[in-house]
Chain A
Amino acid sequence: MPLIDLANPTRFLALSHRLLPWFAAATAAAFASGIYLAVSAPDDYQQGATVKIMFVHVPAAWLAMGCWTVMTIAALGTLVWRHPLADVAARAAAPLGAAFTAMCLITGMLWGRPMWGTYWVWDGRLTSVLVLFLMYLGVLALWRTVEDPSRAARAAAVLTLVGAINLPIIKFSVDWWATLHQPASVLRLGGPTIHSSLLTPLLVMALAFLLLFVTLHLAAMRNEIMRRRVRTMLMLQAEAAGH
């Protein structure tokens, strides 16, 4: 099937219906493996057992940024190519992105208290991730405020593109400013600095979180298409009742 065929919501619904059980099963299998590896991973020589928090905190942080990246690509699809599924994809990704960002912030605070002696500091990394969370809430509020989905999509797309400026700020905040947060130790030019006994569970958990996002995003996109169909049918019903 050519990729362009997926622009048709009906074809997307049919294909996603076939794919969803496979993605859900793969997600469950990846989480089972990831949690087993996380539980059996050795303690870090400095952090002790609190390194286990990294196995949920880091994938959540990657997905917090990844969801906004998906929304940014979708925003281009809405504004430039007017792709029929672009605003559906953006709207479905926003709540998931907000949830992963909340997970990143909460698990980070629970790691920070025993390791740094504080839940929170107003440094570049933590503040820019908090700004990302607030931007997710802003986009969600915008979708709810504007009744017409296509108008809401254009407004949200503009806000998403503006908000994308925050992504490199989050990534490089630990290099640009003095911060309590450690610098990148996995996604860096010189390769990971983490020992394989801790890197393997981290990457398996990251795969599990990625599969979870893909599964939930597909399901949420299907819901959004159905919501729009309900809206259209209600409008047609009201239109007919007026004649």
Chain B
Amino acid sequence: MAAMGEAAPEVPPGVDPLYVAIVRFNRRDYGATIALCTQLLDAQPYDQAAWFLKTRALTMAVWIDDVEVDEEGVADALLDDNATASMPRPGTSLARPMTGAAAGGVNASVRPMSASGRPTTGFARPGTQSARPGTQSRGGTAGLAAAMGGGRLGTASRPMTSFGRLVRLGTASLAAAASGGAGGGPFIAVDRLDLRKYAERPTLARALFDYILYHDHNPKKALELAALATVATDFGEWWWKERLGKCYFQLGLLRDAEKQLRSSLAAQPTVLATLELARVYLRLDQPNAALDVYAKGADAFPHDVSLVVGQARTCDALNEGGRAVALYKRALALDATHVESLACLAAHHFYTDQPELALRFFRRLLQLGVSSTALWNNLALSCFYSAQYDLCLAAFERALALADDGEAGDVWYNVGQVAIGIGDLGLAYQAFKVAISVDTNHVESYANLGVLELRKGNLDAARANFQTVHEMAPHMFEPFFNGALLAFKLGDFQEAHDLASKAIGAFPEHHDSHELLRQLRQLFAHL
């Protein structure tokens, strides 16, 4: 951190050091501000202005936009006692999104599915990659295994523990606290403060509150202060209610959070409170309520992008692709440089047979200065499918140059895909092999290798590959169906039946699996 041990800047003679500190604070030079205030407080321990400024500076130095990073911890997700219905109707719960074309959504055979049974999003954000345990009506142990496995299969990513990211951020702040105060101890010993006294002074209380919540990560203490402060303001202050809601949310008391945030919104509609309230509903697994909140907020603040994007994300999670796309477009009209909307729209166009449009969106992202493996990889694919062959390989080369170990497997997989597209099966085979050597758990590569082996006539190798995928990725229906078809052709109807049933479990509308099952049933019924 920049603040640690930084020397206080020179103060020109005749200038008030506090003035310099304020200027530094406004320039977001928090380290210098803290050092200056520390000097001032050493000379005059009861200087309220210096104390206030130092508190603000310490808070701002570690401040994060916690509305955006909300990842559900594994304990919360597994022991979820907030869900209202165990078998909700489709479209009313995140655990049971709308399926198939009924919602204008996308089809699993066109757009690949993530491990949680939703179409892959165009933008990796918290929660899109990991499988939410318990969805897709999988058995309890399978859900647990999926939750413990973390996000991308096989990578070292750990599942989120109780407070999600806040815990790790908290550990970083311990170091800050150790050197924050002059004498080695923490700058403010919250436990020893008389919060009642501070609650009477509105300005100081707010600074102190933010310090406790963002710097100390102590929502319990913060809650105490906020509760006292609301009492002191006769329950009339929307700011305090909003912060109360935030504290309750962090403590997992979702219904209390909802109450406080609603009351805050009634007193004074704000974007932040709207976002937080929607977040509470999402955590309660009431996506439609969240959508209502977003919509009301968007009426009050028609030019705010975050509300529109929030709505779009929720629609995406409910598999309502059509609605989400309209919302992303609105977000782009409000903010033409919104990276997430661009990426999602690009993915949408790519998977609806419009690679040319996807290419334009990806190019726009490139112009915005985004340069990542994923983007170059997607550019390459769009180029290939829109017949711009000369650019395709160059883009793949860039992607490979930028890729780290986690992503190189994906890029090689796509190189293999393109190789299949130009009919060069040898190259495709090698690319998939490389993908597996980089990322031993790259299931899609195993699946495609299986198909290639099948074409070569190596039935046993194909079977082995399919089996690997069955174990590692029960959410993919293709390997199940391919395995079933292979077993059917070899005459092993028992295995064909089992695998075809699993394929249907992963993708209930797959016509070919149904047809296969029908034939099998006929065989079984025949005496």
A and B together in one complex: no
Chain B positions within 8 Å of A, measured between CB atoms, are: none
Binding site for B on A (CB under 8 A): none
